[in-house]
């Protein structure tokens, strides 16, 4: 009986596979013929520009890595001739935060005195006026308006000298 079933299955399987059609013959024909007559267009390579050669002769030039070239040009630079932060001054609360993390949220005016309302990253709100210090770069408020606060920061340069830099806070929406 098993042999008979085996013979029937073996004889039917080739008949069924011969009749099978996956329905993709038209797609295969399209793919085969769609771009058969087209040649790909390749753009020509750009022309290479000929560069002039340059012979570097350092015999009469100064050494850019010499210690002489790393010193400041003026005699007073780097020795306290410019602005310096006061190391003995007591730090104010807004100096604990970077300037870019502080948010100006409003102003208060009383007579000619203007105060800025500043929110710190931890959510605390502070009041500051012209002359107060903000930020971690020895910033000092120079002007308070309804839209913004002007700040001058002291940044130490690569040669040890202190440089003033303008910064500010704008009213946040």
Distances (CA, A) of 146 to 40, 103, 149: 64, 14, 8
Tell me if 44 is assigned to some domain: no
In which domain, by residue range, is 140 found?
A: 67-84+92-170
Tell me if 35 is assigned to some domain: no
Name which of 25-39, 85-99, 126-140 the model is least confident about. 25-39
CA distance 163 to 22: 78
Quote the pLDDT of residue 76. Answer: 47
Q: For residue range 121-162, list pLDDT tens digits in order.
A: 999 999 999 999 999 999 999 999 999 999 999 988 877 788
CATH code for the domain in which residue 153 is found: 2.30.30.830
Mean pLDDT value across residues 50-79:
71
Tell me if 115 is assigned to some domain: yes
Tell me if 161 is assigned to some domain: yes
CA distance 51 to 61: 24
Domains: count for the chain: 1
Tell me if 98 is assigned to some domain: yes
Q: Does pTM surpass 0.85?
A: no
Tell me if 134 is assigned to some domain: yes
Tell me if 104 is assigned to some domain: yes
Q: With residue 28 as reference, give the H or E element that holds it.
A: helix 25-34
Tell me if 61 is assigned to some domain: no
């Amino acid at each position: 009986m098993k042999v008979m079933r085996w013979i029937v299955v073996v004889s039917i399987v080739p008949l069924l596979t011969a009749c099978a059609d996956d329905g993709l013959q038209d797609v295969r024909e399209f793919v085969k013929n769609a771009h058969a007559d087209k040649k790909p267009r390749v753009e020509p390579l750009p022309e290479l520009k000929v560069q002039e050669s340059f012979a570097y002769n350092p015999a009469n030039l100064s050494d850019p890595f010499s210690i002489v070239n790393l010193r400041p040009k003026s005699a007073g630079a780097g020795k306290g001739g410019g602005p310096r932060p006061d190391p003995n001054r007591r730090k104010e609360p807004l100096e604990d935060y970077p300037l870019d993390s502080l948010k100006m949220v409003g102003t208060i005016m009383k007579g000619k005195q203007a105060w800025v309302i500043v929110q710190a990253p931890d959510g605390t709100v502070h009041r500051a006026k012209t002359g107060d210090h903000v930020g971690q770069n020895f910033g000092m408020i120079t002007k308070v308006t309804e839209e913004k606060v002007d700040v001058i920061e002291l940044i130490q340069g690569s040669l040890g000298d202190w440089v003033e830099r303008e910064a500010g806070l704008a009213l946040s929406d």
